A and B are shown apart, each in its own frame.
Chain A
Amino acid sequence: MITAKSVSKSYGDALVVDDVTITLPARGITSIIGPNGAGKSTLLSMMARLVGMDAGHVTIDGLDVVTTPSEALARRLAILRQDNHMTARLTVHDLVTFGRYPYSRGRPTEEDAVHVARALDYLGLTDLSGRFLDELSGGQRQRAFVAMVLCQDTDYVLLDEPLNNLDMKHAASMMRLWRDACRDFGKTVVIVLHDINFASWYSDHIVAMRQGRICRQGTPDEIIRTDALRDIYDMQIDVREIGGRRVCLFYE
């Protein structure tokens, strides 16, 4: 369980996250949605100790993310952010092996090797394991990072806009993959998403943010509704039910 209590963060004069208190349920996919600048990514980064908070605290299974040794947290929680400033030429195998760093500190054991092989296999990267990251397509590279995160073998996985730069096919398979990972390994996955249809389709729980505050939260049925979405996005969004799932139409 991830719990945030009275968490705030400002950059200069701009209050980005404003006194947020929330408990994210364990297991399954929780999506964080909301307009640009709502503070979604900042909140996620604070939960993963990437960004310090000005006030409040976050605990993961009771462990305070600020005071718990970073290495111990790395065995419980993994975060994947989009970093386009990628320069290092690592092979897929080396990258995935670094997922075991919190356990083996650069000296992978045979057990680590098993984890690596399993993660590569799970993502269909076994044949590409000797390739350098800069020789892969965008979708393959994304999968390599996902394999690393799976290899880190954490109960919690936080993903910051994982669908950016992915085409529809890869975006859908990425979401399916996390849904399956939740089912297969009992993980708790928290995803910052922009596309509310992806959130509607794949989430077990949705948290909506607006102007640095939590504006609503609940199941997709409770959030993906015209009135709720108007509160969140300030626009008229037509919601249709197709095959028991809710789909948003916001074009026009």
Chain B
Amino acid sequence: MTALRMDVFRGSHANPLLFCAVLFLIVVLAALSLFIGISNVSPSTLFGSGAEDRAMRVLLISRIPRTAAILLAGSALAIAGLVMQIIVRNRFVEPSTAGTTESASLGFLAVTILAPAWPLMAKMGVSALFALAGTALFLRILRFVPLRDVMLVPLVGIMLGGVIGAITTFFAYRFDLLPSVLAWTMGDFSGVLRGRYELLWIGFAATIMAYIAADRFTVAGMGRDFTTNLGLNYKAVMTLGLVLVSIIASVTLVSVGSIPFLGLIVPNIVSLMVGDNMRITVPWVAALGALFVLICDIVGRLMRYPYEIPIGVVVGVVGSAMFLYLLLRKRGPGA
């Protein structure tokens, strides 16, 4: 059957040329990012003499994993923000303003203390379960917040995150793990090597899942009654969303650390550009998330070359400025 799919690119709202331009930019910048660093890696050293295979090793062990990690983490975190905003029906939440990231961090700390010998994958699983529980707690608290004020919701999440973060800090201090916790909270790609980023592919899988379930999420974003009316199980969609967000939050936390604001800014910009139909927005959010982190990473690496500014700092500075803009912009009816 020739299904008239809800086209990914329809009308003026989703210019396919623009999307192609974004993809092209990502490819160019990703290629560029491969050649930034202290070790001399360039097309000439790679293919020139042939005698020097050191450049190739650096490329394979460090540079390619790093760029891949940037693209995967950037797109997954932006998608996590998008899904989170659908579940909570609030534009100003993302994993770091809903207690999710902090819960994932607490979970990772707990498993590091209690079962240090477990493989990374299992630790990640525990961390994801904590993230799930923390986010569910956030949603439960929201039920008791009488006024569903737009700004109150993220404030509740930030407070909850603060409480959970304090517990984490306390135990980290007691067990001399404060530096590790700090490393998780401060996103950083400089430590990414082959064998230490592959978990992020799970985040990519979650992104694909979000695309597959895009219509269901769009419907759920219109509310419980709307969803039930169309014969969909609202609770099931919410649960799927929660699981995706928790998985993404924990894999990125474990592999590269948390990157603030990303999940807030990118989906909001995409919403302004092409609306909220997730069949259309998921590719945009994923692409722009990757592009945003890629640019911030390149800036962080070049600003004080040969030293590096952690990605968390760069994104934090750029992101807070953009966040302020989004807040102060004339609020539309739905904002």
Contacts and interface: CB of A to CB of B under 8 A. Distances in A.
B306 interface: no
Contacts, number: 110
Q: Which of B224, B229, B230, B277 has the most CB of A within 10 A?
A: B229
Given A50-B225, A83-B223, A109-B4, A88 B231 contact: no
B303 interface: no
Nearest to A113: B4
Q: Contact size class for A?
A: 35 or more
A69 B233 CA distance: 10
A89 B334 CA distance: 8
B117 to A, nearest CB: 45
Nearest to A136: B333
B195 interface: no
Interface string A60-101: 000000000111111100111101011111110010011101
A74 B229 contact: yes
Interface stretch (B6-14, B26-34, B70-78, B289-297): B6-14
A85 B153 CA distance: 14
B5 A70 contact: no
A89 B271 contact: yes
Interface stretch (B183-191, B199-207, B211-219, B320-328): B211-219
Interface string A96-119: 011101101111111011000000
**B interface SS class:** loop
Given A89-B271, A130-B12, A134-B334, A101 B3 contact: no
A88 B215 contact: no
A134 B231 contact: no
Contacts of B221: 87-88
B228 A101 contact: no
Q: Which of B13, B232, B333 has the most CB of A within 10 A?
A: B333
A132 interface: yes
A110 B148 contact: no
A170 interface: no
B13 A83 contact: no
Contacts of B224: 50
Contacts of B91: 87
B5 A72 contact: no
A69 B12 CA distance: 38
A50 to B, nearest CB: 5
A17 interface: no
B276 interface: yes
Nearest to A49: B228
Contacts of A72: 231
A195 B249 CA distance: 50
B89 interface: yes
A101 B219 contact: yes
A98 B225 contact: no
A106 to B, nearest CB: 3
Q: Which 5 A-B pairs have the closest CB atoms?
A: A74-B231, A106-B215, A71-B231, A89-B275, A88-B276
Interface of A: 45, 48-50, 69-75, 78-81, 83, 85-91, 94, 97-99, 101-102, 104-110, 112-113, 130, 132-134, 152
10 contacts: A70-B231, A83-B225, A91-B11, A101-B230, A102-B231, A107-B3, A109-B3, A130-B13, A134-B333, A152-B229
Given A50-B229, A83-B226, 16 more contacts: A48-B229, A50-B228, A70-B233, A72-B231, A79-B229, A85-B89, A86-B222, A86-B333, A87-B91, A87-B334, A88-B218, A89-B271, A90-B275, A91-B11, A110-B4, A130-B11
